Amino acid sequence: MIAEVIVDLSNESVDKIFDYNGIEGLQAGQMVLVPFGNKDIEGFCINLKENTDVPTDKLKSVKEILTKEPIINDNMFKLADFMRKSYHLRMVDILRLFLPAEMRGGRVHEKLKNFVMLNEEYYNDNQNLVLRKNANQQQNLLCYMRANKVAEYSKVCDMFSRGAVVALEEKGVLRVCEKVVERRPQIIEIDKKDITLNKAQSDVLNTILSSNGGKYLLHGVTGSGKTEIYMRVIEDCLKKGKTAIMLVPEISLTGQVLSNFTSRFGDNVAILHSGLSSGERFDEWQRLRSGKAKIAVGVRSAIFAPLTNLGAIIIDEEHDSSYMSESNPRYNTHEVAEFRAELDGANFILGSATPSLETYERAKEGQLKLLTLNERANKREMPKIHIVDMCAELSRGNASPFSYKFQEELKKCIDEKNQAIVFINRRGYSSFVRCVECGYVAKCTDCDVSLVLHKEDNQLKCHFCGKRFRVLTKCPICGSDKIKQGAIGTQRVVEELKKAFPNVPIFRMDNDTTKTKNSHMDILKNFAENKPSILVGTQMVAKGHDFPDVSFVGIIDADLSLHFSDFRSNERTYQLITQVAGRCGRANKSGTVVLQTYSPKHFVYKKAVDNDFIGFFDKEINLRAVTNFPPFSKMVRLLFVGDDELRVKENLSKIYFKVKDLFKNYGKDVYYLEAMNSPVKRIQNKYRYQILMRYKNSLHDEIIQKLYSIVDDNKDKKVSVFVEINQQNLS
Ligand code: ADP
Ligand code: ZN
Ligand code: ZN
């Protein structure tokens, strides 16, 4: 028997299958230890076969089987194949996605603990057992064990002394044994809600439940009760003996979604996100693999959960950009999920209040069945959005970051002991620092971006590489001390709000305050427990939270995402505003939103105020159609990154001419091709250039393979070339 092995090294030169002599009991999908070069390394056995072309004297043998059972099944191998073809990934990089990182190299194991157990003959009084009269500890321990039968070793030692445990063990009364204990992530417990579906919800549910392998887009306004539908779909899967995966953006996991799921499904749920310890992640994964847990709830990577017989794959907040993996290994979660759903004949459900244009267009074309919830579950009106023109505000003499309307509504909310969410899409204190005299702007030494002032730590920080610099008191160029700060960020908003509301608890949630484990959860919990209170934050506050007492949402600078030079900027802005506005008025209280802008007439704001997604979609999709942007084309970026700028540019032009040559065959079906600097020219001292192209969708399968070949044929060790398809982040 010959084993085909992928070795656990991510390196161009070993990205192939190696043949080894198999050993007794080996199955495809197991991890193995194999001799490689002059040492032993781990690998994945991907197949077993009878013969090999490798000469017998060269053929080495598998040394050891590392996993008790196969951890990768046939369908997952098919998925790996699909990903390899679509995204041109190394096999090992894909297989690594399929298991917890620390499992490789044996860095994490099952957690074992010692337990003492009472032997059955001693459950009741036993003639053979004679304990000395003054052996009180032993008497008490025996008594305790008769009541409990099993107890943790360390605990009984603490309670009764180790001597007593040893004595009873020697007498054959107790035995000590090792047992596996599960490490479980921390979850805020809530009571299970008893909800009767409304008519719209049950129509949606019935449609989904009547199908196997159906594909859906659930477009439901914020607060329409989508989560409740997901849970019913999953309930149905369990009833039919099937499993389910539900994906959510990272931040939603810290909120009520998790609590809702665990209160409904208990131990059937396993959670997978980046905030878990490696032990927790390993144990949750094991529970899924062993079949103890049947529902995986998690972020993007949970799409690789080790489940079989899937009945549903759900992607909540499907428009969220985190579903696109934009560093190695690059993949598109929607495509991977859809492929996996097809393999298992599972229902595939995308849900959002603000679907991406790409997804909504697919629904219009009939590739996904469109399901709609137009009303909130609580039957209330959607929150009212007031647009405030900040230019007019300035001419009325208000130079503060908060308009009069903002101040008035926030005060009302606080007076009524309600909660407010204030959204500003910029962390730190101010966006940049600039010398008024000579125009010098403080920039990172390693990246081509301006630094952001963080007043709390009294530092300037680079938001791309994290490097820190001293705060400027004088301009390093002209020596002037007239240093000006740019637009405000979260820290400054909190500072200003504290002046206005000194007695109200104010919480801040952004990348800086959420670095440690459970910090998201703690902030949200504190916010929930204090009334009145204010939560200030970046887009983290816009995602999925369901706080019943939030009656005001303030958007400090709505234009931030609008003026990005990215074809998705209108779409992103519409989504952000609708999502953050959707955080208020979700239960018994109605909600008010104040949106501050310098472009009050922009159509994106008008559509958001009218809560007119379809109107927004129609206008924006027309724009995309006439300009040939996705979804009416594929957009591919070849990103070149390297230390030596000249060498990066040489590679760029070499490949650019090859692509140009290739595109000659396609005439008008190629809409755009250009080589240029990346928007951020340098990150962490590496130069970045790019080739951008757009071409007709139907040519994608053919063109992308040719692009991969061009990139492969022109490899240069000193320059990395990344191929990105319809990517979300173009920096
Ligand atoms: P969405 O995910 O669409 O934003 P949620 O599922 O979070 O909305 O629902 C919003 C709120 O309405 C939640 O507090 C939820 O418990 C409640 N809810 C959902 N369905 C119903 C219903 N049929 N009747 C009453 N309340 C409901
Ligand atoms: Zn200066
Ligand atoms: Zn930097």
Q: pLDDT at position 312, please?
A: 98
Q: 518 lies in a domain?
A: yes
For ligand 2, the distance from its centroid to the CA atom of residue 404, given in whole angstroms, is 35
What is the bridge-based pairing of β-strands 2-7 and 419-423? Answer: unpaired
Q: For ligand 1, pick from 219, 227, 317, 545 the residue to mutate: most ligand atoms within 8 Å of CB.
A: 227
Ligand 1 contact via 257 beta carbon (within 6 Å): no
For ligand 3, the distance from its centroid to the CA atom of residue 448, given in whole angstroms, is 7
Instruction: For residue range 35-67, list pLDDT tens digits in order.
Output: 999 999 999 999 999 999 999 889 999 999 999
Q: For ligand 1, pick from 192, 195, 318 the residue to mutate: most ligand atoms within 8 Å of CB.
A: 195
- The answer on 395 and 368 residing in a single domain is no
Give the list of residues 6+ apart from residue 2 with CB closer than 8 angstroms, or none: 19, 20, 21, 22, 48, 49, 50, 51, 52
Q: What is the CATH number of the domain that holds 664?
A: 3.30.70.600
For ligand 3, the distance from its centroid to the CA atom of residue 451, given in whole angstroms, is 8
- The answer on 330 and 236 residing in a single domain is yes
| Residue spans of alpha helices (H) in 136-274 | 136-148, 153-160, 162-170, 199-209, 226-239, 256-265
DSSP secondary structure letter of residue 234 = H
Q: 187 lies in a domain?
A: no
Q: 666 lies in a domain?
A: yes
Q: What CA–CA distances, in Å, run from 199 to 177, 221, 374, 379, 722?
A: 55, 15, 12, 12, 48
Q: 447 lies in a domain?
A: no
Among 344, 373, 402, where does a domain finish? 373
Ligand 1 contact via 202 beta carbon (within 6 Å): no
Per-residue pLDDT at 565 exceeds 80: no
Q: 456 lies in a domain?
A: no
Crossing angle for the helix pair 153-160 and 136-148, to the nearest 10 degrees: 140
Q: 587 lies in a domain?
A: yes
Ligand 1 contact via 260 beta carbon (within 6 Å): no
In the block, tokens 């427990």 appear at: 529
More confident residue, 252 or 289: 289
Peptide linkage before 249 cis (omega within 30 of 0): no
Q: Please tell me the total number of residues recorded for the chain in this structure.
A: 731
| Residue spans of alpha helices (H) in 597-675 | 603-609, 613-627, 645-663
- The answer on 119 and 176 residing in a single domain is yes
- The answer on 80 and 151 residing in a single domain is no
Q: pLDDT at position 428, please?
A: 85
For ligand 1, the distance from its centroid to the CA atom of residue 228, given in whole angstroms, is 6
Q: 223 lies in a domain?
A: yes
For ligand 1, the distance from its centroid to the CA atom of residue 256, given in whole angstroms, is 11
What is the domain count for the chain?
5
Mean pLDDT of 414-435: 91
CA-nearest residue for atom 19, ligand 1, is 225
Q: What is the CATH number of the domain that holds 118?
A: 1.10.10
Q: pLDDT at position 432, please?
A: 82
Ligand 1 contact via 195 beta carbon (within 6 Å): yes
DSSP secondary structure letter of residue 303 = G
CB atoms within 10 A of CB 123: 11
Percent of the chain with pLDDT over 90: 73
Q: pLDDT at position 689, please?
A: 97
Among 331, 352, 373, where does a domain finish? 373
Mean pLDDT of 658-682: 95
Q: pLDDT at position 384, please?
A: 94
Ligand 1 contact via 201 beta carbon (within 6 Å): yes
- The answer on 151 and 99 residing in a single domain is no
- The answer on 87 and 17 residing in a single domain is yes
Instruction: For residue range 444-491, list pLDDT tens digits in order.
Output: 999 988 899 998 888 999 988 889 999 988 999 999 999 888 888 999
Q: Which residues span the domain enclosing 90?
A: 2-106
Ligand 1 contact via 351 beta carbon (within 6 Å): no
User: Are residues 138 and 119 in contact, defined by beta-carbon separation less than 8 angstroms?
Assistant: no
| Rounded Cα distance, 210 and 101, in Å | 38
- The answer on 87 and 208 residing in a single domain is no
For ligand 2, the distance from its centroid to the CA atom of residue 246, given in whole angstroms, is 53
For ligand 2, the distance from its centroid to the CA atom of residue 430, given in whole angstroms, is 18
Single-letter residue type at 141: L
Instruction: For residue range 124-161, list pLDDT tens digits in order.
Output: 887 777 788 788 889 899 999 999 999 999 999 999 99
Give the least confident one: 295-299, 550-554, 563-567.
563-567
Ligand 1 contact via 226 beta carbon (within 6 Å): yes
More confident residue, 639 or 543: 639
- The answer on 642 and 676 residing in a single domain is yes
- The answer on 398 and 350 residing in a single domain is no
- The answer on 205 and 88 residing in a single domain is no
Q: pLDDT at position 187, please?
A: 73
Q: pLDDT at position 469, please?
A: 93
Q: pLDDT at position 254, please?
A: 65
Structure tokens at 700: 């994608």
Percent of the chain with pLDDT over 70: 99
Structure tokens at 146: 């008769």
CA-nearest residue for atom 4, ligand 1, is 223
Q: 459 lies in a domain?
A: no
Q: For ligand 1, pick from 221, 546, 588 the residue to mutate: most ligand atoms within 8 Å of CB.
A: 546
| Rounded Cα distance, 461 and 475, in Å | 17
For ligand 1, the distance from its centroid to the CA atom of residue 287, given in whole angstroms, is 29
- pTM passes above 0.95: no
Mean pLDDT of 520-540: 92
| Rounded Cα distance, 610 and 612, in Å | 5
677, 678, 683, 686: CA torsion to nearest 10: -50
Radius of gyration of the chain (CA): 30
Instruction: For residue range 426-451, list pLDDT tens digits in order.
Output: 888 888 888 889 989 899 999 988 89
Of ligand 1's listed atoms, the one at least distance from the Cα of 193 is: 16
Ligand nearest to the Cα of 462, by number: 3
Per-residue pLDDT at 360 exceeds 80: yes
Instruction: For residue range 201-228, list pLDDT tens digits in order.
Output: 999 999 999 999 999 999 999 989 999 9
- The answer on 662 and 586 residing in a single domain is no
Peptide linkage before 631 cis (omega within 30 of 0): yes
- The answer on 395 and 288 residing in a single domain is no
CA-nearest residue for atom 9, ligand 1, is 225
Single-letter residue type at 654: K
Q: pLDDT at position 255, please?
A: 63
Single-letter residue type at 280: E
What is the bridge-based pairing of β-strands 452-454 and 369-373? Answer: unpaired
For ligand 1, the distance from its centroid to the CA atom of residue 257, given in whole angstroms, is 11
